[in-house]
Structures are given as structure tokens and as C-alpha cells.
Amino acid sequence: MTEALLEVKHLKKVFPIHGGLFGRRVGEVKAVDDISFYIKKGETLGLVGESGCGKSTTGRMLLRLLEPTEGTIRFEGQDLTKLSREEMRKMRKEIQMVFQDPFASLNPRHTVEKILEEPLIVHGLKSKTERKKRVQELLEIVGLSSWHANRYPHQFSGGQRQRIGIARALAVHPKLIVADEPVSALDVSIQAQVLNLLQDLQKEFGLTYLFIAHDLGVVRHISDRVGVMYLGQMMELADSEALYDSPKHPYTEALLSAVPVPDVDIKKERIVLKGDVPSPANPPAGCPFHLRCPKVMEACASIRPAFREVEPGHYAACHLYGEQL
Amino acid sequence: MSALPNKKDKFVVVGSQADHAEKINKPSLSFWKEAWLHFKKNKLAMFGALLLIVLITMAAIGPHIVKYDYATNDLMNSNQPPSKEHWFGTDDLGRDVFARTWEGARISLFIGIAAALIDLAIGIIWGGIAGYKGGRVDEIMMRIADILYGIPNLLMIIILMVVLGQGLGTMILAMTITGWIGMARIVRGQVLQLKTQEFVLASRTLGADSRRILFKHLIPNSMGPILVTLTLTIPTAIFTEAFLSFLGLGLNPPLASWGTMASDGLPALEYFPWRLFFPATFICLTIFAFNVIGDGLRDALDPRLRK
């Protein structure tokens, strides 16, 4: 087994809710509540979950765009949460991010050349001709042409813009790329192109991805392992095959049953969940899923199930598997 | 029919040139070039711009094209109506109103532009920092601005005049001491709105420092509203100057501004109306010019207002 490039332990993020006349702290939202995972070098970890379950927050904490409330993030053995601002700034070369909305993630006032130059300038590449050369190189890597360099973002299609976003992330030779729903704003036909580009780049540069998405099909296509999040907690984490073929957690089962299968002969039994996702400001005690779980037991309402290895490499947080280990 | 060759031969398949399919022949327009194209289409705004250019040119050369000095008295020729000799007539001390009008234009425009630029500088820095830092810093900085804004303007100006003495510098200081607040609010609003955009996050992810983010991403993207506010601040400052001079809180003689000239001309309105007419007209024209330019800019710079 290759070593873990990134190891996250007991990561938590709590957003305070201020209210009242003097902005007192009246409550808190546990956006990410004690999650742990690791990513091996060169693999893709998919992270899925409904809106608001904390997957983006997790991604942003890895880059310290949001400060974690608790927990450690070890990148190549170094704890990112303990780094000073300047050390972290240098560290950003190693971890980059691809954003969700290709229309908002590029500065509308800058040409593509300027956008791609920024990381080079920030990380101290002084020579102008070298920067120009690198920009051309980057454009070619992501399948654009050199004449695109002096155009503005609004002159591109969504897929092309996302390519520019990817080129920008690649500019500093990162090891890990956090892709925060990189294809959910794109047309389905373009999604495939961008996903294939990401996979090609992974092979070429030996990149490691944390791929955040809510589209289970997309995640299955690209990920080696998949984590399922619900209400700020990791419910299940396993190899992609294992997770899709034999999900352990009732929540994962329900999610997978909602994936449409393009075959009229297959009659699937859909598990329809009752109710809504509880508010993260007031999460239920015990298992966060127990209010909607079809297999709810007595213990679920009071005791939070531990995140444990159910089968080798297959982790789940559910009381159903409590006795086995 | 038989004379015609096979129809198929008339069509030659050119094929698609994959290499050039993506090429755009139209030159890539920067934001400002595009805004200029839109501004040019706005006739009223272009008229305002033209008017302003004429006014500025006259302010530059006006005092030199007549042989009279703006400050030289000629008591034998006081209160002359407009004539070939004195194009805009003379005032009660026999000074040439034409020369004085353009000398006054220099001072009025200078005060307007200087006040607006100082407002701009303070406003961008104050509003930019407040908006970018957010939280408590924002709270404190904006409350300070609110408190300053609450002090009656005229009262503060009069106190300043008394303490520092009347003059150009005092006038500009008096106007900028509260004038920057409007600009700061605009900039803060823009920055607050922009700083959560993903391109700003992306820049932070790349390791850019706050200064770079503020001056390369946030401020350039708020330049539209800033410029509009700027063009609308200038006429306000010119008007305030005229108003203060009219109240006798303006410049000392023999310095002329449009405000002092209007103030001097008012008592003589019944008999020598040209003494009020000319400065008042030019105040109106200047303010009008700046306002229509500001309107035109707002339309040109805001893509949502474009038709």
C-alpha cells in the first residue's frame, strides 16, 4: 500500500450563529462534525452527499480557506493546521483547488494570460518570457490553444472556462487537487470531457484528487474510493466498487437506489426517505440519520455510532454493524 | 437541362478547418474599450463630454485671449454691458467679466476635481479595508464614518474657516472631511459583494496576499461604480464651493471663482444682470455636463443596464 498523502483526523468546523441586539452567540452550526479519512498518493477520493452536508466545507478546510475548529490535517506528514500564515502560503503550491462555478471563478477583468500568470507571479517566477512560455504550455496541457491567451473569460464556453480553471490550478505543480464539484455546472456532454481531462492529467502528472460532487454517477466514474457524508459526518467510506455493489450504510443504500439506471427492464426498488434533512444547527442526538432511517434501532436515537471498519477497507458509521467487531 | 453540368460539381467541399474554427477575428476587447463603445452611442453623454472639453479648454486659454487681466481694476469702465471691448461686460470695479469667468472656471474645476480625487483615495482605502476585513474592523470603521456623517456639514465648514482662515486649501479640506464617506460606502459595498466570489477564493488558494487580492481583484472589479460616483462627486463639490462663496465663506478677493462672482453679482441683478448671468450659466453647464457624463458612464459600465 502506498503511503497516505493526506490524512485528516477528527476534523470539525463549527460556525457560530450570532443574533440579538449585541450579536451574542445564540447557537452554532456543526458544518463538519468529526470526520477522519486519508487519501493515498495518486488516487482519487470521491466525496458525495446532499447539499449542505459539509463536503465543500471539508474541501475548503484542507486549503485553510476556512480555519478548522478542531482536528488535524496532515499533508506529507506535516500538520497544516499548525502552519503559520506565511508557511501556509508556501504550502499552497502543493494543494490546489478547482472550483464549481466556471463563471465566477475567473476574474472577468483579466485575460486568460493574466489569470494563468497570477500563480506564477505569486510564487515568484520573475521572468516575463518564462511566464509567457509556461502559460502557453498550460493552455496546451488542458487542450486549449495559444491564441486563447489574450481573450477574456466571457468569450469562452463553460467547459473551456473550467479548463482554464484547471490550468490555473496546475500552474504551480500541485500534488493534491481539491475539485469542488468541478463538473456540476456543466452540460452532461461537457462533463465527460472535463472528467476525462482530469483523469488524463492525473496519469500524466501523478496527481491526487479529492473529488467533491453530488452526482453519484460522476463520482463512480472517477473515484478509486468514495466517502458518503450526511449532516457533517462521514457515514461510509469504501472502495468505489465495494460501495456501489454492496453498500453497508442504510443512507448509502437509499442514495444509490435513487440513481437512475438507463434500462427499462430493470425494476429497481427505490428506497424513499421520509422527511427532510434536519437542520445542522439543531442536529438530532445519536446517529444523525436515525430520524429517516428505514432500519432504525433503539440505540440509534441516543448513541452516535462509531466510524469503524466493517470489512477490510470498508468503513461505516452504523449500529447495524456494531456487534460484529 | 442538358447544357448544365452535373449540379454536384458546382459545390466544392471546403471542409471545416478545425484549427481555425475557434478563432475569433474580432479583436479581443478589454472591459474599458467595450465600455467606451457603449458610451459613444449615448448622445447626451457625448454632448456632456464635449461641453466639458470646451469648458476645460476655455479655462486653460480663456484668460489669455483677452487683453484684460482678471484682477486689474478699471474704475472708469465699471459695470459696462457686454460689448466688443468687454465680451461679457465688466463688474463694479471695471474688471473684465470674461477674463474673470475663465479664471473662476480654473478655480471651480480645480476645487471640484481635487476634492473628488481626495474623496476617491480615502474612500477606496477606507471602504476597501472595511469591506475586505469585515467583522469587527468593518463595524468600527463604518461607525466612525457614520459619526462623521452625522455632524452638520455647514457647521463643520464654518468652524474650519474660522480656525484655519478662508482659502483654497481650507475649502478643499472642508469638503473632503465628510465627502469621502459616500465613496467609502460604495467601495465597501462592492468589496463585500465581490469578496465571496470564487475568483477571489481562487486567488487566495494560489497564495496571493491581501494586498494583491484587494488591488488586483476587488478594486478593479468595482471600478465602474467608483468612477460613476467620482463623476457625480465633482459637480457636487463645484456646487458646494459656489454655495459657500455665495454665503461669503469662500475665497478672498481678488481671487475669482464662479461662486464669488455670482455672490458679487447678485446685488446688481436689477441693473447689471450680466454680472450674475455669466457665472451662474457656467455653473449650471458644468454641473449638467458632469451629471450626464456620470449617467452615461453608469449605463456603459454596468452590463445589466445595456440594451
**Domain extent at residue B247:** 41-59+89-305
Residue B47 has pLDDT above 60, yes or no: yes
Q: Between chains, do B207 and A92 touch, taking CB under 8 Å as contact?
A: yes
pLDDT of residue B206: 86
Distance from CA of A106 to the nearest CA of B (A): 5
Residues with Cβ within 8 Å of B178's Cβ and at least 6 positions away in sequence, in order, are: B148, B149, B151, B153, B156
Decide: residue A25, CB within 10 A, 0-12 exposed, 13-18 middle, 19+ buried: exposed
pLDDT of residue A324: 44
Q: Between chains, do A97 and B30 touch, taking CB under 8 Å as contact?
A: no
Give a yes or no: residue B67 inside a domain: no
The answer for B 229-258 residues in CB contact with A (under 8 A) is none
Give a yes or no: residue B262 inside a domain: yes
**pLDDT tens-digit readout, B282-301:** 888 888 998 898 888 888 87
Distance from CA of A237 to the nearest CA of B (A): 27
Give a yes or no: residue B143 inside a domain: yes
For A173, the closest chain B residue by CA position comes to B206
Distance from CA of A256 to the nearest CA of B (A): 31
Give a yes or no: residue B236 inside a domain: yes
Beta strands at A95-98 and A176-180: parallel, antiparallel or unpaired: parallel
Which of the pair, B106 or B87, is modelled with greater confidence? B106
Whether residue A170 lies within 8 A of chain B, CB to CB, comes out as no
CA B122 – CA B183 distance, rounded (Å): 8
Indicate the number of domains in chain B: 1
CB A134 within 8 A of CB A213: no
For B18, the closest chain A residue by CA position comes to A145
CB pairs under 8 A between A and B: 71
pLDDT of residue B23: 63
A65 interaction partners in chain B (CB closer than 8 Å):
201, 204-205
Whether residue B28 lies within 8 A of chain A, CB to CB, comes out as yes
DSSP labels for A174-189?
A: -SEEEEESTTTTS-HH
Q: What is the mean pLDDT of residues B253-261?
A: 78
B220 interaction partners in chain A (CB closer than 8 Å):
109
Whether residue A154 lies within 8 A of chain B, CB to CB, comes out as no
pLDDT of residue A211: 92
Give a yes or no: residue B17 inside a domain: no
Distance from CA of B181 to the nearest CA of A (A): 25
pLDDT of residue A1: 47
Give a yes or no: residue B290 inside a domain: yes
Residue type at A131 in one-letter notation:
R
pLDDT of residue B4: 53
Residue type at B170 in one-letter notation:
T
Residue type at A261 in one-letter notation:
V
Q: Between chains, do A100 and B209 touch, taking CB under 8 Å as contact?
A: no
Give a yes or no: residue B228 inside a domain: yes
Query: 3-class SS at A97?
Result: strand
Give a yes or no: residue B233 inside a domain: yes
Q: Considering chain B, what is the average pLDDT of its residues? A: 81
Domains and CATH numbers, chain A: 4-223 (3.40.50.300), 247-325 (no CATH)
Query: 3-class SS at B127?
Result: helix
Q: Is the ipTM of this complex over 0.90?
A: no
* Dihedral (Cα; A49, A55, A56, A58), 10-degree rounding: 180
Poorest-pLDDT segment among A73-77, B67-71, B139-143, B265-269: B67-71
Residue B305 has pLDDT above 60, yes or no: no
Residue ranges of the alpha helices (H) in B134-222?
A: 135-150, 153-164, 168-194, 198-205, 210-212, 219-221
**The C-alpha cell that represents B83 in the structure block:** 460689448
B212 interaction partners in chain A (CB closer than 8 Å):
122
CA A58 – CA A77 distance, rounded (Å): 19
CA A54 – CA A13 distance, rounded (Å): 9
Specify the residue for cell string 456623517: B149
CA A95 – CA B167 distance, rounded (Å): 59
**pLDDT tens-digit readout, B216-256:** 888 888 888 888 888 888 888 888 888 888 787 777 766 77
Q: Between chains, do A89 and B207 touch, taking CB under 8 Å as contact?
A: yes
B31 interaction partners in chain A (CB closer than 8 Å):
108-109, 152
CATH code of the domain covering residue B188: 1.10.3720.10
CA B70 – CA B252 distance, rounded (Å): 14
Whether residue A93 lies within 8 A of chain B, CB to CB, comes out as yes
Whether residue B22 lies within 8 A of chain A, CB to CB, comes out as yes
Taken in order A23, A25, A30, A36, is the CA torsion positive or negative? positive
Distance from CA of A251 to the nearest CA of B (A): 31
pLDDT of residue B15: 66
Query: 3-class SS at B115?
Result: helix
Cα within 13 Å of Cα(B156), Cβ side: 16
Averaged pLDDT in 10-residue chunks for chain A of 325 residues: 80 83 77 89 90 87 88 88 86 88 86 89 84 90 85 86 91 90 86 90 91 88 90 89 88 85 75 79 84 84 85 87 58
pLDDT of residue A178: 92
Residues with Cβ within 8 Å of A1's Cβ and at least 6 positions away in sequence, in order, are: A40
